[in-house]
Each structure stands twice: as C-alpha cells, then as structure tokens.
Chains A and B, each alone.
Chain A
Amino acid sequence: MSFFTFCRDKLMVSLIYTAVLTISFSMLYLLGISAALLLFLTITWVLAGIAMLLYEFFRRRKFYQELFDELDALDQKYYLSEMVAPAGFAESEMICDILEQTNRSMREQVNYYRRLSEEYREYIEMWIHEVKTPIASSRLIIQNHQDEATASIAEELDKVEEYVEQVLYYSRSSNVEKDYIIRKFPLKDAVFPVVKKHYRDFTGHKIVLSVDNLEFEVFSDTKWLEFILNQIVTNSIKYAREERAFIKIEAFEQKENIVLTIKDNGIGITKRDLGRVFEKGFTGENGRKYAKSTGMGLYICKKLCDKMGLAMKLYSEEGKGTEVLISFPRSRMVRFES
C-alpha cells in the first residue's frame, strides 16, 4: 500500500474535515476572534489532522506489508490464514476472520473430493482384483478345452488383461499417497519377467530379442518397473517392422545414472507426433493407422517414472525405429515426488 493510494482512500474524509474547519473558522472570524489566534488554531487543527492520517497510514502499511510478505514466501498460498494475526484495528480482525472462514470451507470441499477420489480408487483396485479371478478361471477353462475358438478367445483375453493392468497402474499413478516400495535389485529382475511374457513373439521368426548388461543394480519398485517395461516392449512388438525386426534391451553406466534402453527397428514415430507421445490419450498417426491404441500406456509410464524419480526419454525416427531410455539415479538420495 503506497501513501498515494492511502490518501486517495481518505480523500473524502479529508475534504469533509477541511470543509468543517473552513466553515467553523469562518464563523469564528465573523464573531470577531483575532487573526493571530485564528491562525494558531488553524495550524494546530491541520497538523492534528495530518498526524491522524499518518498514524493510520503506518499502522495499516505495517499490517498489509507483512501480509504480502507472508503470501510471497508461502508455497501453498492457502496457508496464509494460519500465518496472519490481527494488528489491533477492526479491519485487520475482519480480514483474518474472513480468511479463516473461506479457508475452512475450502478445506472441507477439498477433503470431500479427496475422500471421493480415495473411495473411487479403492473401489477400482478392489474391482481389479475381483475381475482377475474370472480371467484366471477363463484361462484355465481355455487350457482344458483347446480348439480354434478358445485359442481366439485366449487372444482376446490377453487384451482384456492388458487393459485391466493399465487401469490398475493408472489408478496407482494418480494416487497422492505412496504405494510403492523402493528397493535395490538388478535390472534383469524386472526385464526378464517382461520378455518371458512375450515369449511367443520372440521365439517365432518374427522378432529377434537381445538382452545385455542387465546386472546393474538400481533403486525402484520392481512391479512398477515391470509394468513400464511391459508397455514399452508391447509397443515395440506392436509397431515392429515386417522383416528382420529386432528389440534390444541393454543398460549402461553414466556418472550419476544407470540407463536402461529399449531399442527397436520398428516403424518409428513421425516428427509431428514425437513431442506429444507422453500426453494423455494421444494416439498419433501410428495408433490410428496400425493398431488400436488407447493413448494411455506411455502417459501412465511417464507418471509412474515421475513418481519414482526416474527420467524417461523417447527418441524415434520414422521408418527407422524407436529408442526409450530410462535413467535411474545411482544414489538413493533423490527427491521422490510426494
């Protein structure tokens, strides 16, 4: 609050004060009071008026200055109501009161929605575990009754399973609470189960798999990492070229990171789409042209990586191939997103 704005606020008060002074002193003059005495009275009253204004100004400026300083210093602005105290004049008390009331109401709203989303998430997780039982029994039934029809159902079931898995990790990735466990393990512990899942694709003549250098130990959650790798490998298989396709999974050391790369010589991604692959629901040209894509896979991967403090990058050239890099900080002292 500058002195100028303060004066502008007090303009009307000052005018009334001046008017009253002028009128009363004119009366006194007409009544024949001596000029010297009048001058003395005028000066006293004007000075008293200025003094009152100044006092008011400094008191307010102190309060508001502190208020704005606190506001600037706060990361979460809504904590302001807990930081300010009334400064002994009525306005400041009212301001504090208002802040506190609006805050309380906002907190209630936030809690309400937090509860809602928590409930929803719990329900989704429960549902996912429930739905896995019928999927498991369907698989066994198919296994015990093998023919063309059930083989085809099995393929569809694979897709159902993939979608279910995606929902589970989507719900985990948007959870505010931490529900992963970071521990140290060699990269192969997460990579091997994933490649084994795609056994059929790699053992036929379709795609050649090579894995190398996966003894490096990293800090992460194996289950989360498995999900991330599975999304990437599934993409590589989905968008593999017709002939001489390969997928290479390797790791190497950098000064502060262990980097895992998944490289393929598939159809690649056009330059236009490249910047948007981690966006929610983005399917791009490949998704439309070649295979049905939900546009959620990489988005969820990125979110999970962010949560665990891993960096994920994607390079691709149309017609040549795609490479995804995930870097794991070597020291455990990284800041995980809360």
Chain B
Amino acid sequence: MKIVIVEDHPKIREELSTFLSRNGYTCVSSDDFEHIIAFTLEQHADLVLLDINLPVYDGYYVCREIRRQSEVPIIVVTSRDSEMDELMSMNLGADDYITKPYNTQILLLRIASVLRRAQKNPNQELLDCGGFVVNLSRSTVETGGDSIEITKNELKILSCLYAKKGCIVSRDELMKYLWDSDAFVDDNTLTVTVNRLRRKLETAGVADSIQTKRGQGYLLL
C-alpha cells in the first residue's frame, strides 16, 4: 500500500512516514509544493494524506485538483477544526477528515477503513473462511447447506479476524477495530462474545477455527 504524504512541516512529514512505514505502508512525500499536484498524481498511490495549510497552493485547491483527475482516496489532515472546514473538505471530494493533533491509533484505523472502502469489490459480501462462509449482508455463517445467524458484534469480530487471516490479531487490535466500527464493548464482553461465536461455529460443525493464543490474541485459521 502506497501513501502520499502532503505536509509542509518537515518533522511531521518525517515522523509520519516512519510511523506509517512501521505499520506496513510505503510512504512518499515531496517538499516541492509548486508541483505538488503533479507529484501526487504521478505516484499512483493508494491513498493521499493531505494537510490544508500548505505553501504555494491552499490544501483545498490541491484536494479539488487531485479529485478532478483521480479517484485516489484522500484523507484531509488539518489543525483547522471547525464544522465549516470539515464540510468544505468533504465537498471538495475528500474521503475523510482528521484534525491535528491526531491520535496515531485513530489515524491508522481511519487509513485502514478508507482503504477498505476504496477497495471493496462486489464479492466482498461473502468472506470465504475455508471451512465456512460469512455472509456480511445477511449476518450469517454458512456451512454446506446449514446457515446460522450471528450477531452484529460477532460479525465484526469475524471480519476483523478475516482481514488478517492466518495471522494473530491482538485483543487490543480487535478491540480497536470494534470501537472504530461503533461497537463499544469492554474487555469482558469481548471475551464472552468471542467464546459465544466459537460455540456457534462449533454447532455449525466447524470447530477450532478461531484459536486463542494466550497472551497474544486470536487467530482465524
């Protein structure tokens, strides 16, 4: 995943690209603000992080120009935080709006969710988990001919685990994912929900597909 960082503050630019690189993104940036629009478009990136207070061209102008020529997702990052600024960015075609000083975890979540939205393909309604299929639109788990209903939060947990299928997802990560998708669960509820989900899968005939890694998190096989 390639992200273009359009930011005039050198320190933020540097630290932001270090931070995002550590989280698995490739970052590019430029300090030539005269040609920033052309630069951004040339990168064919997956996402643009755009500051509003820029030298030479105003960020709003940059946003509009990029949007005119490309469908690349844009997240506006700014220290201006009035309702007016937010409405303006959205009207100019930005996909999301984050105010400085941002919480870095929230920034990651927003980036992930904008990317997810941008890449959604029509098959995304069904998550093929090997032994079973999750139907997102009907909120069910289907195995062979059987279909069992699962709750909204169970569905969210499954899609989060599915996104990192085969890798361990830490409880903290899972929790953040749930909170970002408006499910405000606490530690106990998370444990209970995962256990209930596991039991449901068992009754549907798929045992042990969600594994617990003690002290590390969960894993979808």
Contact = CB atoms under 8 A, between A and B. Distances in A.
B83 A223 contact: yes
B57 interface: no
Contacts of B185: 203
B15 A203 contact: no
Interface string B96-116: 000011111010000000000
Given A209-B186, A223-B86, A137 B180 contact: no
Interface of B: 9, 11-12, 15-16, 18-19, 22, 53, 79-84, 86-87, 100-104, 106, 175-176, 179-180, 182, 184-188
Contacts of B15: 137, 140-141, 143-144
Listed from nearest, the 8 A-B pairs whose CB atoms lie closest are A140-B15, A136-B101, A132-B79, A135-B101, A136-B100, A181-B83, A129-B79, A143-B104
A195 interface: yes
Contacts, number: 87
B184 to A, nearest CB: 5
A197 interface: yes
Interface in A191-243: 192, 195-197, 199, 202-205, 208-211, 221-224
Interface of A: 128-130, 132-133, 135-141, 143-144, 157, 161, 179-181, 183, 188, 192, 195-197, 199, 202-205, 208-211, 221-224
A202 B101 contact: no
Contacts of A205: 186-188
A144 B83 contact: no
8 contacts: A130-B79, A137-B12, A138-B101, A203-B179, A203-B185, A204-B187, A223-B81, A223-B83
A204 to B, nearest CB: 7
A86 B59 CA distance: 59
Looking at A130, A133, A157, A208, which has the most chain B CB atoms within 10 Å of its CB? A133
Contacts of B102: 136, 139
A196 B86 contact: no
A209 B104 contact: no
Contacts of A211: 184
Contacts of B22: 144
B44 to A, nearest CB: 26
A208 B86 contact: no
Given A129-B80, A141-B15, A221-B83, A135 B182 contact: no
Contact of A180 (B53, B83, B101): B83
Residue among A203, A223, A224 facing the most chain B CB atoms (10 A cut-off): A203
Given A133-B9, A139-B102, A140-B12, A199 B179 contact: yes
B184 A132 contact: no
A224 B81 CA distance: 10
Contact of A132 (B18, B100, B175, B180): B100
B125 to A, nearest CB: 25
A132 B101 contact: yes
A233 B83 CA distance: 21
Nearest to A168: B81
A211 to B, nearest CB: 6
A241 B205 CA distance: 45
A122 to B, nearest CB: 14
Contacts of B176: 199
A136 B80 contact: no
B187 A203 contact: yes
Contacts of B106: 196
B83 A136 contact: no
Nearest to A225: B83
B104 A223 contact: no
Given A204-B187, A211-B184, A143 B101 contact: no
A156 to B, nearest CB: 13
Nearest to B8: A133
Interface centre among B19, B53, B101, B187 (most CB of A within 10 A): B101
A317 B19 CA distance: 46
A118 B209 CA distance: 63
Q: Of residues A128, A139, A204, which shows the largest number of chain B Cβ atoms within 10 Å of its Cβ?
A: A139
